[in-house]
Amino acid sequence: MDRSPGGPRGPVTTLTLPVLPLTDAVVLPGMVIPVELDGEARAAVDSAKAKATNDDDAQLLIVPRIEGKYHEVGVLATIDQVGRLPNGRPAAVLRAVSRAKVGQGVNGPGAALWVEATTLPDRISATDQEKVDKLAAEYREVVQEILGHREENDGGWQVVEMIRRITEPGELADIAGWAPYLETEQKLRLLETAEVAVRLELVLEWGKQQLAELQVAATIRDDVRESMEKTQREFLLRQQLAAIRKELGEISGDDDNPEADPRARVEAADLPEKVRTAALREVDKLERTGDQSPEASWIRTWLDTVLELPWNVRTDDRTDVGDARTVLDADHAGLDDVKDRIVEYLAVRNRRAARGLEIVGGRGSGAVLALVGPPGVGKTSLGESVARALGRKFVRVALGGVRDEAEIRGHRRTYVGAQAGRIVRAIKEAGAMNPVVLLDEVDKIGADYRGDPAAALLEVLDPAQNHTFRDHYLEVELDLSDVLFLATANVAEAIPEALIDRMEVVRLDGYTELEKVAIARDHLWRRQLERAGLESTDVTIDEDALRLIAGEYTHEAGVRQLERSLARVLRKVATKLAGENPPETPIDVTVETLKDYLGRPRFTPESAERTAVPGVATGLAVTGAGGDVLFIEANAAPGAQGNGEPELVLTGQLGDVMKESAHIALSYLRSQGDRFGADPEELRGRRLHVHVPAGAVPKDGPSAGVTMVTALASLLTGRLVRAEVGMTGEVSLTGRVLPIGGVKQKLLAAHRAGLTEVLLPARNAADLDDVPASVREALTVHLMEDVADVVALALEPATTAQVQHAA
């Protein structure tokens, strides 16, 4: 059979073919289509290839599937090529050869549906030959006229040339399969019709209908264009008439309204020289552009934006360093690191101003600080306090979920609805060139096909570059070097390395219980009293109750849950006071009455309960919400090697690094377990299972290594892990305890959990200086170098039975 586009359609034959169904799509002979190889398509193509002697002879039957039903007529197709689409998905290029009637189903190789199919060659009777030729010529002319009405005629000449080369009338009728104006039902009718004369009559009728619609649309379009040209001509003449009347003195100009004259506004504004030159250039362009042109509106909007920016406005910084520190201490308890950094910045700026070094080489003395810490520690509210301490304007820019690079650098003016980026809008909102700009949630910036906003922030947050920042909308230089940028983030690792390298990271690792009580007493309680509509004479709360709420009703690094608990208490107090028999005021909230307002405590120390059986150790970890305790559980069962089961099973959504720590722990116990009474022989033939609750939370990192060794050692020796001990550290294959990060957050978590002893790597000794003194005094910290010493210190003393068992 000849499969070339211009060849004969072949005699009537019966074939056994695999079926490729196409949902709501109709393919006519002569069409070449790509098909994505999903389940059914893959099965059909593979089955066709399996039956054929070579790939060139592979054939299948393409059948339309309309509303879930297979059509009775399809097309016989060959497989031209199998490859991948631009998106990487597998696909095949199929060439439809001839019509075929679908017969009964048969058995065939592969997973595809096989049927018997009878080919339906084109039919032209001897008496219809002259009629068919005339119909083909007329249809060829109609198609060429339809293509001539296309508004975008790219590639239309190629279609015309293809039509001219087609000599077979049946093939000419079948090219209607590509026509976008034909419905699926019309294409099915063409597929069912083997008589060439009937097909040509159908496509000619449909083509004439489409041509008539296009001609009507073209007439309407020409009328609209003529009307617009007339309107524009009248507008031009009226503008000329107005100019003539103005010259004759018959009407007055806009001299009485300077705001209406863009040139006067630009000349009167206090603009830098380069900005003034760019603005006057846009004014010249505006004066040459008619008011009805869309470009005039764009230019006016751009001029409004430029003139609203405070180019030469700067606020005076607070000069008294002591006053600034007083403001910071009044607004926030603790957070000494960031307070010290702000005071240092202010002191340096005052020294530079005193020596005349305020601006050197176009670069100001701005700063970029990244406040990194768990939720609820006061990162966002700290920005307002910093602005108040410095006497500057404050603007917050929320970046969480931003995915478009233009949100930072602005849109090009060629786009409809273009506007300046968020940085420029923040400067305009502040009304000064040296505000405090808080870039909130910078670690939650996304990236997609519209660009990477984090990459656009590289110039904004680089003090060596941001004095010449260019917004895509403004296209003039904007000096950001005097802006104090504060970025907030929960996880520093989520910030791109190049971006965090431009910021000075200040970590806010959470509050101690004493700090939480102070914050609740001095800030949260007063704020919630106001929100509940109560006065200090209506209700009081003692510090013991605040301490109980902070320690046993909340479990967090910040104070958000603490504030919600206080709000709940005050809501219940307000309800009591609004009842029929209100109690006498003030109502005292104490430790004894706290249960009436908040119910039972939710977070009580559980280390003793969890470590009451061998094989459970208490570790310390850092999450996006701050530090937390992490219990690692281990147990053993016989028969790991005999039935093909793995000798070590790990559960709890562990990352690759944490899984490697478990394997290192097991290898260490096998080689050196006898150092603390564990018999390595007991590991043979046993199936060990290590689990890290909570199983729904993903976990990773190397700092659980010593905890895993301790849990497995407790399991093998039968000795309990001491309930008051928590530990953290990476372990090497030789038993060395390696340093880890997040020491301050982990010790705060240990303190919250009621632990009294913590085992740390010896090389983390310097990190203890960052831990609050009250926490260091409450915890006994042991610095360890060898994991054997960790196990010896963490396990309970061995009983006589355990010693005999080990022997």
Q: Does 378 belong to an annotated binding site?
A: yes
**Would you tell me how many other CB atoms lie within 10 Å of the CB of residue 256?**
7
Q: Is 746 a catalytic residue?
A: yes
Question: pLDDT-based confidence at 152, cuts 50/70/90?
Answer: low
Q: What share of the chain is helix, strand, coil (3-state, %, to 5)?
A: 45, 20, 35
pLDDT of residue 77: 92
Query: Does 377 belong to an annotated binding site?
Result: yes
CA 794 vs CA 107, 707, 718, 737, 798: distances in Å: 70, 10, 13, 14, 12
Enter the pTM of the model. 0.59
- Under the banding of pLDDT at 50, 70 and 90, the label for residue 403 is confident
Q: Are strands 504-507 and 394-398 parallel, antiparallel or unpaired?
A: unpaired
The phi and psi torsions of 600 (rounded to 5 degrees) equal -75, 150
40-60 residue pLDDT tens: 888 888 888 888 777 677 889
Helix (H, G, I), strand (E, B) or coil at 788: helix
| Among 268, 247, 264, residue whose Cα is nearest residue 255 | 264
Range 327-352 average pLDDT? 80
Range from 125-134, 318-327, 622-631, 782-791 that averages highest in pLDDT: 782-791
Per-residue model confidence (pLDDT) at position 357: 66
Q: Is 364 annotated as a binding residue?
A: no
Reported as a single tens digit per residue, the pLDDT across 247-282 is: 765 444 444 444 457 888 888 888 889 999 999 998
Q: Which pLDDT score is estimated for 291? A: 65
Q: How much is the average pLDDT of 400-410?
A: 86
Instruction: Please give the Cα distance from 429 to 419 (Å, whole number).
Output: 14
**Would you say 10 and 121 are in contact if contact means Cβ atoms under 8 Å apart?**
yes
Omega of the bond leading into 109 within 30 degrees of 0 (cis): no
Q: List residues bridging with 364 in a β-sheet.
A: none
**Marked catalytic residue, from 101, 187, 339, 746:** 746
User: Tokens 């065939």 sit at which residue?
Assistant: 108
| Mean pLDDT confidence for 663-685 | 78
pLDDT at 617 over 70: yes
Residue 380 labeled ligand binder = yes
Token pair for 618: 């208490």
- pLDDT computed for residue 245 by the predictor: 55
Quote the distance between the C-alpha of residue 519 and its chain's center: 34
Out of 104-113, 352-361, 561-570, 590-599, pick the least confident. 352-361
Q: What pLDDT does residue 292 have?
A: 67
Residue 107 reports pLDDT greater than 70 = yes
DSSP for 738-758 reads E--S-HHHHHHHHHHTT--EE
Indicate whether 669 pLDDT > 60.
Answer: yes
Amino acid, single-letter form, for residue 156: G
- What would the pLDDT profile of 157-169 be if each residue is shown by its tens digit? 666 677 777 878 8
pLDDT at 249: 59
Residue 715 pLDDT exceeds 80: yes
Best CA proximity match to 90, nearest among 134, 37, 154: 37
Of all residues in the chain, the percent with pLDDT exceeding 70 is 90
| Range in 73-77, 240-244, 307-311, 759-763 the model is least confident about | 240-244
Handedness of CA 557, 559, 565, 568 (dihedral sign): negative
Q: Is the pLDDT of residue 2 over 50?
A: no
**pLDDT confidence band for 425 (50 / 70 / 90):** very high
Q: Which amino acid is at 420?
A: A
C-alpha distance from residue 470 to each of 374, 426, 480, 503, 575 (Å): 34, 15, 10, 20, 56
Task: Tell me if 716 sits within 8 A of 683, measured CB to CB.
Answer: yes
- Can you say whether residue 395 is alpha, beta or left, with left for phi > 0 and alpha for psi between -120 and 50 degrees? beta
| Tokens matching residue 617 | 């150790």
**Residue 374 labelled as part of a binding site:** yes
Residue 466, amino acid? N
Q: Is it the case that residue 655 has pLDDT exceeding 50?
A: yes
User: Residue 248: what pLDDT?
Assistant: 65
- The answer to the question of whether 231 is labelled as a binding residue is no
CA neighbor of 694 nearest in space, from 753, 651, 752: 651
> Which helix (H) or strand (E) segment is 648 a member of?
strand 648-651
Catalytic residue among 47, 365, 703, 714: 703
| Vertex 302: Cα angle to 296 and 304 (nearest 5) | 105
Contact 628, 693 (CB under 8 A): no
**What is the residue-averaged pLDDT of the chain?**
82
The residue-averaged pLDDT of 686-713 equals 84
The CA distance from 284 to 279, in Å, is: 9
